[in-house]
Structure 1
Amino acid sequence: MKTLYLLRHAKSAWDDPDLDDHDRPLAPRGQRAAATMAKYLGERKAGPPMLDLVLCSTAVRARQTLERVLPAWTSPPRVLVERDLYLCGADALLERLRGLPEEVGAAMVVAHNPDLHKLATGLAADGPEELMHSLHAKLPTAGFVTLSINSGEGWGGLDWGQAMLADYVTPRSLD
C-alpha cells in the first residue's frame, strides 16, 4: 500500500503588489501556521510520517513552508523541488505521482490550491464522514491531508477515486 501526504503551502504575503506570484514569501501568519504544522508532525504519537520522497513546488511560499516543517523529521526525507508543480492543475499532479518509482512507499507533495484540493477530493473515495465533509468544503493554507492509496497497481496505476482519506488536519484544528 502506498501513502500520499499533501501539504498546502502556508499563507503568503500580499504586501508587495509588484512581486510576481511565484516569488511571494510567507506572511507572518503563514510562518506561524507552518510552525504549528511542524510541531504537530513532530509530536504525533507515531512521529512524523515515514517519507521516501517530498515533491515541492518552486514557489517561494511552498519552499518556505517545507523549510519550516522539515525539522519535524530527525532524518529529513529526499526532496525534489520542481517548477512543474507550480499551479499545474490536479491532472498534472496525478500524472507526476503516476511517474513515481515503485520503491517509493510514501510521498508528500507541497504545492498549491486549487490543485491540491482537487487532487485530494478526486482521489479520496472514502474516509471518515466528518473528515470527508471538511475536506470537500475547503483545503486551507497549511492544511495537511493523508491518503491511503488503494490501487493494487502502485503509483503507475493511480487514478481518481482510488484512495481513502486517512487524516485531515489544519492549523486551526490544532489551535
Structure 2
Amino acid sequence: MKIVLVEGDITEQRVDAIVNAANSSLMGGGGVDGAIHRRGGPEILEECRALRASRYGRGLPTGQAVATTAGRLPARWVIHTVGPVHSRSEDRSHLLASCYRESLVVADTLGAGTVAFPAISTGIYRWPVEDAARIAITAVRQAAPAVVEEVRFVLFSTAAYAVFETALQDIG
C-alpha cells in the first residue's frame, strides 16, 4: 500500500473514499466535518440521519467508522470516523489509531482502492500534530487492507504537511 502526502483541501480529492473527521452525531459540524457536509450536499446528511435512526441512535462511537454516499464530492463514498479528544491525563492513542484502522476496514469492504484522510483529531480536539502524525502513519502501515492501494493524507497547511512528511520519513 502506497502512502502519499498532499497539501490541500480534502473535499477536492478525486479518490474512491474521503474520510471525514466527524463528530459522534454524524450531523456535520465545524472543520473538516462541516466542509465535507457543505460541499457534499444534502445527500450525505440524509444518509447520516438514516444511520442515526437505525444503528447509531446514540451516535457513532469514538474510534469506529461508517460509510455514506459522497454526494457532490469527487469521490464515491465518505467514511465517517470519530476521533478522540486529546487528554493529558488519559492515553487515548489507541482510539486515534482505531479511527485509521476501522476506516480502512470499511474502505476495503466498499472496494475502495484510494482513500484520503485528514489529520484526525488535530483541530478542535487538540491532538498535537506531531503525535497524531506518528499514530496515523503507524496505524496505516500496520493495517493490511486487501483492496486499498493508496492512502492519501490531505493536510490543510504547510506546517501540518511538514510534520507528516517528517513522521513518514522517520517511520519508513
Q: TM-score range by the shorter chain?
A: 0.3 to 0.5
